[in-house]
Amino acid sequence: MEEEQKPFVFTPAEGGEASIRGFKGKARAEFSNGDVYDGEYENGLKHGKGVYEYVSKQEGVPNNVYKGTFENNLKNGIGVMTYYLPEEKKEEYYGQWKNDKKHGEGRYTYANGDVYSGQWQNGKKHGEGTYVFAKTQMRFKGEFHENKLLNGQWIYPNGTIYRGKFENNKPIGEGLWTFANHNEVFGQYTQTKIPLKDDEKNRNLLNIKLEWTSEIPEQIV
């Protein structure tokens, strides 16, 4: 359990002594760093339903907001976390939490419109899930491991499906292409790392070339 940050201003909803020690009920807490919590307490800890605003560190960007349930000061249960970004953009997670981290079933909507729906573990995409790319409407569906697709399907809007294993979110090893006309092609992908240029080495890029051993239409690859 994390240590509770002492409020700068503590205001019980129904009046009474403005002290957090051992408090049970609803209250508003304003912290010295600018954060604000408005919700239920038990034994002086955030516990039950509440809303927590995390003060923004960027000028002109609204505060990130969590609305949901708490247990012993930590986000636990069902909740919605809205992350505000520059240029009036935002991202949102709705789902289960455990010990302040995304854990269980949940849906994350990214600023570019991409959506991941599925299982989470310790704050990462982990387990069965589906990732939909807003721009192309392509989908990754299958098993994720620590934010990366491990095994599953690569589904195109026209009905073409690739089934196989993945590494670094790219196909690797044996796989099967099933096309919209029901034709199938079995083959194997190999990944070859390409050396990065000097100006790319500090940009966290992963330069990988894919090679397929069977012939498939160029527009699909």
Judgement on whether residues 13 and 65 belong to the same structural domain of the protein: yes
77 and 35 share one domain: yes
- Looking at per-residue pLDDT, the higher value among 154 and 192 belongs to 154
If asked whether residues 208 and 117 sit together in one domain, one would say yes
Residue 71 makes CB contacts below 8 A (sequence gap 6+) with 47, 77
Task: Tell whether 127 and 72 lie within a shared domain.
Answer: no
Here the tokens at position 151 are 């095994």
SS3 61: coil
105 within domain boundaries = no
The answer to whether residue 145 scores a pLDDT higher than 50 is yes
Count up the domains in the chain and report the number: 2
Residue 92 covered by a domain: no
Q: For 81-124, write each residue's pLDDT tens digit.
A: 999 999 999 999 999 999 999 999 999 999 999 999 999 999 99
Domain residues for 53? 1-84
**Per the domain annotation, does 182 fall within a domain?**
yes
Q: Specify whether 48 is located in the same domain as 135.
A: no
Please check whether residues 76 and 119 belong to one and the same domain.
Answer: no
Q: Which residues of 73-93 are buried (b: 16+ CB within 10 A; e: fewer)?
A: bbbbebbebbbbeeeeeebbb
Give which of 129, 132, 161, 156 is closest to 145, Cα–Cα. Answer: 129
Tell whether 116 and 210 lie within a shared domain: yes
pLDDT in tens, 2-42: 445 666 788 888 766 667 888 999 999 999 999 999 999 99
Count of positions (residues) in the chain: 221
Q: Do the beta carbons of residue 48 and residue 57 sit within 8 Å?
A: no
Do 154 and 207 fall within a single domain?
yes
Position 186 confidence tier, pLDDT thresholds 50, 70, 90: confident
Residue 203 has pLDDT above 50, yes or no: no
Classify residue 77: in a domain, yes or no.
yes
pLDDT for 212: 63
